[in-house]
Amino acid sequence: MSEHFGTLSDGTEVHRWTLERAGVRVRVLSYGGIVQSLEVPDRDGHRADVVLGFAGLDDYLTHPGPYLGALIGRYANRIAGGRFPLDDLTYALEPNTPPNSLHGGERGFDKRVWDVTPVEHRLRLERVSPYGEEGFPGRLEVTVTYTLDADGALRIAYEAVTDAPTVVNLTNHSYFNLAGAGSGSAGGHELRLAASRFTPVDGDLIPTGALDDVTETRFDFRQARKVGAGYDHNFVLDKGVTATAQEVAELYDPSSGRVLTVATTEPGLQLYTGDHLPEPFAPGAGIALETQHFPDSPNRPEFPSTVLRPGEVFRSETVYGFSAR
């Protein structure tokens, strides 16, 4: 089901699409590929929206910074100095968080209108990112598919091809509050992460290049515990890059009984506890679990590569599963 959601200043119409299956209902915008709402039942069968979102298009345009529920690209997370080397050339990007580039630049994929095609229980979103968009090389053809599986899991599959060497790192930036959006802080949620290492960062949140052991640190979520606040860090998933999505995380809300599991093909996961969410949201109102390659990988040859070349196909998949206990 689709409906008109608003109109941009250039006259482009934005639509909202709804998928519903197995008691789960998700609403997705053609603007930014945004997951506006995601309703799932609690232990008593009562359904509530568990992601942060705005009611109207103007709110997303006025408050772009949190990237609420949006598709992120061409490069999720940070690139140091807003530049990177590739094949003996250096590319300068839009430094939207000076001096660094964040989440694809000033007008990344989160601020673009996507072409949406509905297929049974899924939405296929497509767009072409032209050569030089936000400074990135290559003409990139991108397809992102949102699918509601038979059990109500939300599956996000990413594909991209390029006509010139480039870098690609795609994710979704939903903030989860399993007690329900607007219910207060999500800091009491319990998190388990299959990650024995993380990438420490400098004052600008750029990785130092080290892969530190989480043992006896506040980054050790190998056994489930309360999340708290103060996280905006990439975790090195023990499984590494995989051809199929493997479960790497579980988030649990004791008050509602809702459980979120995260499975992915990606080697990293950014935990962001929403400490700087703007009004009308309070700090800590939602937790982002962004599956990804590591931040600043184009400048870190020791990290898993994010380079995509002509003739190759970028593929990534993340599955958000829901249950209650």
Q: Is 276 a catalytic residue?
A: no
Helix (H) or strand (E) holding 13: strand 13-21
> 286-325 as b/e, with b when 16 or more CB fall inside 10 Å?
bbbbbbbbbbbbbbbeebeebbbeeeeebebbbbbbbbbe
Beta bridge partners of 29: 16
Of these residues, 39, 134, 266, 290, which one is catalytic? 290
Q: Is 13 a catalytic residue?
A: no
Q: Strand, helix or coil at 43?
A: coil
Residue with tokens 């594909």: 159
Of these residues, 173, 189, 233, 293, which one is catalytic? 173
Burial of 274 (0-12, 13-18, 19+ CB in 10 A): buried
Q: Which residues are annotated as a binding site for beta-D-galactose?
A: 77-78, 173-175, 232
> 146-172 as b/e, with b when 16 or more CB fall inside 10 Å?
bbbeeebbbbbbbbbbbeeebbbbbbb
For residue 58, the 8-state DSSP code is H
Q: Which residues are annotated as a binding site?
A: 77-78, 173-175, 232
Amino acid occupying residue 259: V
Query: Which sequence positions are flagged as catalytic?
Result: 173, 290
